[in-house]
Amino acid sequence: MILLHWLVAVTVFAMFAFGIWMVDLDYYHAWYKKGPDLHRSIGVLVLVVMIIRFTLRMTNPPPKLAASLSTWERVGATSVHWMFYVMILLIATTGYLITTADGRGLLVFDWFEIPAVTLDINNQEDLAGEVHWYLALVMMSLASVHGLAAIKHHLIDKDRTLLKMLGK
Amino acid sequence: MEKTITMKQLFKMILLGFLVLTSQAQAADYVIDTRGAHAGIQFKFKHIGISWLVGRFNTFEGEFSFDEQDIAKTKIVVDIDVTSLDSNHAERDKHLRSGDFLDVSKYPTAKFVSTGVVDHGEGKVTVFGNFTMMGVTKEIAIESSMVGMGNDPWGGYRAGFEGTTTLNTKDFNLSLPPSNQVELSLYIEGIRN
């Protein structure tokens, strides 16, 4: 579970940077076509991993939060954790809605294709694209707060929160 | 000074008015049948210099006035909803609508207003006019021809034309490598008012 956490953490930040990079590529750039193909495929895998993590979370008691936490810290930490599941689901869904707006399916590598659903939203790809971007910004903000909080626990509170997540 | 109108003068006026009305009625006004989608605006441009990329604008409207006896007096106005661009690929459409190309959030519409028509005979005409796209207005020439004209089966009267023009996209501050040219084709069927 700890391994999955770090896998998703690294991938999500990488996907954000990769996404920003790929949309500004010149049309004649070698990665112009490969970039989005990879971004889509990895996005689907992240969602799959998050569903697995959610299932594990529901079937296993989570580790206890540090005893020193105040009430608002507990509520904050826990709600951010739950938000991550929701955010990944929404980001993946809006990404899917960009790609499938014209009725073509989403190709995950060359393994399989996820079929499109027809929603009849006018210029769906534009709307989904906007939402995808703003959700990604929110995701990055939440992840930064989450990460900075962990560092604060380690450096200022000097408790074992971060060490536990490193498997120590 | 008081003026009285005699019956004879009144009759003359009515006759004159009638003549004016009928002569104007010959230059009939048509509305382009976009509601029934018997009209289309297609574009095509070179893809990486290897082949053609074809797309269309799904939403537009327009009207024209046309007089078979005096073709040079033909007038036409077409408004295009640029956001309705459709190249049959959502992600490409999104890209073409973005600030990299057509910047439709800033320039959602394009417009063609004819300024003059040169009749070449045998149904062939050149329609000159001002085309506005991305906030830039340029005079363009559309080589056009009549496709047909006559009664439709539902009690109306229709006229159909086709026209083609090649735009230098740089004129409109639009970079569209490698050719920077786009060919626009208009297929319009008008229903007479």
pLDDT value of residue B18: 61
Q: Is A101's CB within 8 Å of B88's CB? A: no
Question: What does the pLDDT look like over A32-61, one tens digit per residue?
Answer: 999 999 999 999 999 999 999 999 999 998
pLDDT value of residue A86: 98
Question: What does the pLDDT look like over A53-99, one tens digit per residue?
Answer: 999 999 998 888 888 888 999 999 999 999 999 999 999 999 999 99
Q: How far apart are CA A119 and CA A101, in angstroms?
A: 8
Residue A9 and residue A143 in contact, taking contact as beta carbons nearer than 8 Å: yes
Which residues of chain B register pLDDT less than 50? 1
Chain A partners of B177 at a C-beta cutoff of 8 Å?
A: 27-28
Confidence of residue A161 (pLDDT cuts 50, 70, 90): confident
Residue A106 and residue A95 in contact, taking contact as beta carbons nearer than 8 Å: no
User: Does the beta carbon of A120 lie under 8 angstroms from any beta carbon of chain B?
Assistant: no
Q: Is B97's CB within 8 Å of A126's CB? A: yes
Where do the domains of chain B lie?
A: 28-192
Residue range of the domain that includes A10:
2-165
Confidence of residue A148 (pLDDT cuts 50, 70, 90): very high
Chain B partners of A98 at a C-beta cutoff of 8 Å?
A: 90-91, 94
CATH 2.40.128.110 holds for B28-192: yes
Chain B partners of A123 at a C-beta cutoff of 8 Å?
A: 83, 93, 97
> Scanning every residue of chain A, which has its alpha carbon at the shortest distance from the alpha carbon of B92?
A125
What is chain A's mean pLDDT, rounded? 94
User: Does the beta carbon of A37 lie under 8 angstroms from any beta carbon of chain B?
Assistant: no
Four-point Cα dihedral B117, B125, B77, B71, nearest 10: 60
Q: Is B83's CB within 8 Å of A36's CB? A: no
Q: Which amino acid is at A166?
A: L
User: Does the beta carbon of A30 lie under 8 angstroms from any beta carbon of chain B?
Assistant: no
Using CA atoms, how far residue A68 sits from A143, A153, A159, A162, B144, in Å, is 22, 10, 9, 14, 80
pLDDT value of residue B15: 65
Q: How far apart are CA A1 and CA A59, in angstroms?
A: 12
Confidence of residue A118 (pLDDT cuts 50, 70, 90): confident
Q: Could you give the number of structural domains in chain A?
A: 1
Residue with tokens 């990329």: B53
B residues 43..102 contacting A (CB < 8 A): 48, 83, 88-91, 93-94, 97
The secondary element (H helix, E strand) that includes residue A155 is none
- Tell me which residue of B56, B82, B187 sits closest to B135, measured CA to CA: B82
ipTM of the complex: 0.79
Q: How far apart are CA A76 and CA A137, in angstroms?
A: 19
pLDDT value of residue A1: 86
B residues 102..161 contacting A (CB < 8 A): none
Q: What sign does the CA torsion over B31, B37, B39, B43 have?
A: positive
pLDDT value of residue B2: 54
Give the per-residue SS3 of B125-146: EEEEEEEEECCEEEEEEEEEEE
Confidence of residue A131 (pLDDT cuts 50, 70, 90): very high
Q: How many residues does chain B have?
A: 193
Token digits of residue B87: 């190249």
* Share of residues in chain A with pLDDT > 90 (%): 81
